[in-house]
Structure 1
Amino acid sequence: MTSARITIDRDFTIADVPRRLFGSFVEHMGRCVYTGIYEPGHPQADERGFRRDVLQLVKELGPTVIRYPGGNFVSGYLWEDGVGPVENRPRRLDGAWHTVETNAFGLHEFVDWAKEADVEIMEAVNLGTRGVEEARALVEYANHPGGTYWSDLRRKNGAADPFDIRLWCLGNELDGPWQIGHKTADEYGRLAQETAKAMRLVDPTIELVAVGSSSREMPTFGSWEHTVLTHAYEEVDYISMHAYYQEHDGDAASFLAEGVDMDAFIDGVVATIDGVKAAGKHRKQIDISFDEWNVWDQTRYNEIEAREIAAAGWREHPRLIEDTYDVTDAVVVGTLLHSLLRHGDRVRIANQAQLVNVIAPIRSEEGGPAWRQSIFWPFARMAQLAKGRILRLAVESSQIPTRKFGDVDAVDAAATWDEADGTVALFLANRSLEESGEVTVDLRGLSATAIRSAEVLTTPEGGDRATANVEGDQDRVGLVPLREVGFDEGTLRATLPPLSWAVVVVDAAKA
C-alpha cells in the first residue's frame, strides 16, 4: 500500500478559483458541430437543430466558457460565410481537416446555442489567411450596437442586440508548420500587435489572447513566447498554451504522471512572461489561457487516421479523432485538472478540447444516443465543486518510478476552500496501478465536522484499466461512493483504490 500525508492550512492559499478554468472547445472539425451539438432531424433536436440530449449533458458537465470556431479550422475560415440566410451560405473546402464545410452552422447559431448552454463565448479570429481588417470587422459585427455597416448587417441577419463577446483569440497555433498561414514569431508578433490595437479601437473592453507554442516539444518553445510578447505585451491580456498527452508503448506509469509535465510547462511559460515583463519594464501582468488540453492518441491519428481521411476524399463532417476514453485516461485527466487548479493564480482560462465526439467527454451518434465518456466525471465534479480559494497543499507521498519523469508522487492532489459555503473540496488521484493509497489530511485552521460527499472513479468490478463507456454499454465507468473515508481524532483519512480519482467534500468552518 502507498501512503500520502496532506497538510491544509486555511491561510495558505493561491488565488480565487478562476471560473474560466473549466472551459471547453467547439471546432468545426469532424462531428463536433454537425451531429454533435447540431443535428436537425434528430429525435432530440429542437426547432433550431440543437440536440437537446447533448445540451443536457453539456449543462451537467458544467463548462463555463467555450472556444469557437477553431482550432486549425479558423486559420482558413471566412467568418462571413457563416452569417445570413443559410440557403445563401457558400460551401467551402476546409484544408485543415480535408473536409467540406457547409456553413449551415455559424456565428449566430453558436451564439444562440451558447445562451442555451449558459456558457461564455471565446471567439477566435483568422490570422492565418486573413488579418487586421477582417478581425476588426468581426468585432464590429459582434459587439457594436448599430448604425454602422457591419453592426447593421448583424441586425439585418436577425440579431438586434450585440453579442457582447468579451474574450478573443488572436489566431491559432501559428508557430506550427501544419497551420494554414504558418508564421515566424516576429511575423506573428507584429500581426497580433496590430490586430489587437485595431480590435480594441472598435471595442476597448475586450480581452485578447496571443498565440503561444503549440506544445512544449516545439523547437521554438520559449523563444516564440519571448518574441511574440516582446512585440505585443501591452496589447494582449493572455498568451495561450496547448498540450495533449497519450500513453506510449504501454508505459502506463509515465502516462499517469503527465501532470508533472504540465506543471513544468506552465512554470516555464510563467517564467518567460515575467522575464519579458521585467525586460520591458511593463507594469501589467500577462496571464495564461491553456485553451487546448486533453488526452489524445496522436500516434494513431498521424499514422493511420489522417491518411484514411485524405484517401477518402472531400466529405462533410467525417468521423475524426473520436477517441474512446477508459479508466486510465480519466485518472490522467483528473491529474491534469489538478495541475491547472494548482496554477490558478496564472492560468486564468483553460479549455479542454473538445466538447462532443472529437476527443471529447461527450459522445453522440447520428440519429442515436448521447453519453458520457469516462473523462466526463473529473471535469464535471471539479467544475461543480472547486469554488472559493485554491489551497496551497503540502504533500508527502510514497513514490512511483517512471521511465519519463523518474520518481513521482503516488498520490496527486488539489483542494479548494469555499468559506461562504463552509466546505473544503479535496481532489485526489492514486497513480499506482496495483496498490491502494492510504491518505491522511490535516486540516489546520479549520474545524471539520462532517463529510458531505465522497466519490471515486476506478476500475469497475469485472473490468480492467481499459474499461470504457461505449454505445450500448454507456455506464460502465463513473463515480461511485468512496467507502473507506472518515475522521480519526480530527484527521481526515481515506483509502483510495488502485488507479483511481476521487473527490471528498468536507464541512469545515474556521476554527
Structure 2
Amino acid sequence: MLTASVVLDRAFVVGPVRPRTFGTFVEHLGRSVYTGIYEPDHPAADEDGLRTDVLDLVRELGTTTVRYPGGNFVSGYRWEDGVGPVEQRPARLDLAWHSTDPNTFGVDEFMAWAAKAGVEPMMAINLGTRGVQEAIDLLEYCNVPGGSYHADLRRSNGSADPYRIKMWCLGNEMDGPWQIGHKTAEEYGRVAAEAARAMRMIDPDLELVACGSSNSRMPTFGEWEATVLQETYEHVDLISAHAYYYEDDGDLSSFLASATDMDYFVDSVAATADYVRAARKQSKRIHISFDEWNVWYQGRAESRPPSGDDWPVAPVLLEDKYNVADAVVVGNLLISLLRHTDRVHAASLAQLVNVIAPIMTEPGGRAWRQTTFHPFALTARHAKGEVLRPAVSAPRVETTRFGDVPAVDLVATRDEETGEAALFVVNRSVSEPIDLSVDVRSLGSERVLEATTLSNPDHTWQADADDATSVLPRTNESATLSDGALSVELPPVSWSMVRLSS
C-alpha cells in the first residue's frame, strides 16, 4: 500500500473559515427556478409556490449565500418584469438560453425563498443590455425603506421592509463573446466603475463584485483582471472567478487533479490584483468571489439549448448526472477554496437545483441528492474556526494535463473555542489505496469523533430518484488516533472527512 504523511500545526493559520465559501447559485436557466425551487402546483408547495422538499434539502446542504438571477441570463434581464401582480407580468425571450421566461418568479419571490432557506442573497445586475440606471433602480427597490418611487413600489408589492442586500455582482462574464452586451475590458471597467459609484451614493456599505475572467483559458485572462481593476479598484471589494472546465473526458487521472487548475486560477488572480494595488498605491486589498464553479459536462446533449422557433419555458438544460468521481473532484475543489481562504472571501457552487446541481427534482414529483451533495454538505457543516496549512509528503500521480501531482490533497480546520478539528482529504490515485499518517500533536486532539469516506469500487455510480442511497459517505473504520498520530486508509478515487476532538 502507498503511504503519505502530513504534519498539522495550529500555528500555521491561513485565515478564518468564511461562511460565504459555501454559497450556491440560482439562475433563470432550465429547471433551476421553475419546477426546481418554485412549483406552485407541486404537492409540497407552500403558500408562496416554493417547494418545501427542496427547501429542506437546501438547508441540509448548508449553503450560506445564493447568487441570483444569473449568470448569462442577467445580461438581458429586465427586473421590473418580475415584480407586481403575477397575472400582469410579461413573458420575455431569454436570449442566453433560447428559452421563454414567464416572469412568475422574480425579485420578491426570490427574497421570500431566501428568507425561508436561511441564506444570504447575492444580487446580480444587468450591465449587458442595461447599465447604471437599472443598477440604482434595482438597488432602490431592494434597499431603500420608502419615500421614493421604487422603494414605494416594493412596499405596494407586499414587502414593507427593505431587503438590505449587501452583496452585488456588477454584471456577469462580460469578457465572454457569448455574453449579451459583451464588452472589452476597458468598456466593462468603465461602466462597472460608474455603476459602483452610483450605487454607493445610495448605500456606501455595499460589497461589490467586479467581473473577472470567465475561465483561466480565456485569451484575455490576467490582462482582463488588470485592466478592469485599473478602472474599478477604488470602488469594488472583490473580483469574480468562474471555472467549469472540469470533466472526465476519458482521462480520469487528470480529472481527479482538477483542483490544480483552481489553485492556479486563484493564485493568478490574486497576484494580478496585488499588482494593481501596488501600481495604484492602494492600501486595501481586492479579494476573490469564486462565484461560479463546478464539474460540468458541456459536450453532453442536455447542455445544448433549444434553437429555431422553439422557445420553451424551463426546458431540460444542463441536467448532468453526477457520479462518485465527480463528487471526489467537487470535494477537492472545496479543499482548494478553503486553502485559499486568505484571498477567496466568497464562492458559489453553480448551480443549486437541477442545473449542474447537487439537488435534483421531478416536476410534480420527487427531489433527491446527487453524489456531489455529500462532500459539500459535510464540509459546510464541519469546517469551522481557522484553516490550517498542512505540510504534506505524498506519492505523485502522473497526469496528462497537470504533470505529476500529489496523490493526496487535503486541508484542515480547527475551532479554537471547541478544540475540534476536521480534515478534508482526497486520494487522487485511480487504483491504489493510501495509508495516511497525520501528526496532530500540536492540535491537542485525543480522539476521533467521526471518520467518513465517499468511494465506490465503481467510480461511475450515479444517484437517481429511484436510488440515491446505495452509495453514501460511510464510516471509515480504519481511522485511529494514538499519541498524537492519526492513521486512516484512503481508498482510491475517494473523498474523506475525519473529525477530531481534544
Output the TM-score relative to the length of structure 1. Answer: 0.97
The one-letter code sitting in structure 2 at the alignment partner of 1:397 is: A
Amino acid at match of 2:254: S
Equivalent of residue 334 in structure 1, options 326, 331, 335: 331
Q: Distance in 2 between matches of 1:285 and 1:306?
A: 37
Equivalent residue runs for 1:92-491 within 5 Å: 92-300=92-300, 304-305=301-302, 307=304, 309-310=306-307, 313-459=310-456, 464-491=458-485
**How many Å separate the matches in 1 of 2:305 and 2:24?**
27
Contact preservation (8 Å) 2:288, 2:344: yes
Amino acid at match of 2:489: T
Query: 5+ unaligned residues in a row in structure 2: which ranges?
Result: none
Amino-acid identity (%): 57
Amino acid at match of 1:259: A
1:504 aligns with 2:501: no
Contact 2:446/2:482 (8 A) holds in 1: no
The verdict on how the C-alpha distance between 1:166 and 1:307 changes in structure 2, with shifts beyond 3 A counting, is closer
The aligned counterpart of 1:83 is 83
TM superposition shift of 1:406: 1.1
Give the conservation status (yes or no) of the 8 Å contact 1:335–1:412: yes
Q: Please give the alpha-carbon distance, in whole angstroms, between the structure 1 residues aligned to 2:299 and 2:82.
A: 33
| Partner Cα separation in structure 1 for residue 303 and residue 27 of structure 2 | 17
Distance 2:177 2:475 in 1: 47
Give the partner amino acid of 1:45. Answer: A
What amino acid is aligned across from residue 345 of structure 2 in structure 1? R
Q: By how many angstroms is 1:73 displaced?
A: 0.3
Alpha-carbon shift at residue 305 of structure 1 (Å): 4.2
Alignment partner of 1:295: what SS?
coil
Q: CA deviation at 1:306?
A: 5.4
Alignment size in residue pairs: 502
Aligned partners of 1:141 and 1:151 also within 8 Å = yes
**Quick check: 1:167–1:206 contact (8 Å CA) kept in 2?**
yes
Determine if contact 2:24/2:65 at 8 Å carries over to the other structure. Answer: yes
Q: CA deviation at 1:476?
A: 2.4
**C-alpha RMSD over aligned residues:** 1.0
The more displaced of 402-411 and 122-131 is 402-411
CA distance in 2, matches of 1:165, 1:202: 12
Q: Distance in 2 between matches of 1:410 and 1:361?
A: 26
**Distance in 1 between the 2:483 and 2:185 partners?**
57
Structure 1 runs not aligned, ≥5 long: none
Deviation of 1:307 after TM superposition, in Å, equals 4.9
Partner SS, residue 234 of structure 2: helix
Distance 2:144 2:165 in 1: 10
Deviating beyond 6 angstroms after TM superposition, the runs of 4 or more aligned structure 1 residues are none
Inter-partner Cα distance in structure 2 for 1:246 and 1:170: 26
Does the CA contact (< 8 Å) of 2:215 and 2:242 recur in 1?
Answer: yes
User: For 1:299, what is the secondary structure of its paired residue?
Assistant: coil
Give the aligned partner of residue 31 of structure 1.
Answer: 31
What SS class does the counterpart of residue 264 from structure 1 fall into? helix
How far apart are 1:420 and its partner, in Å? Answer: 0.9
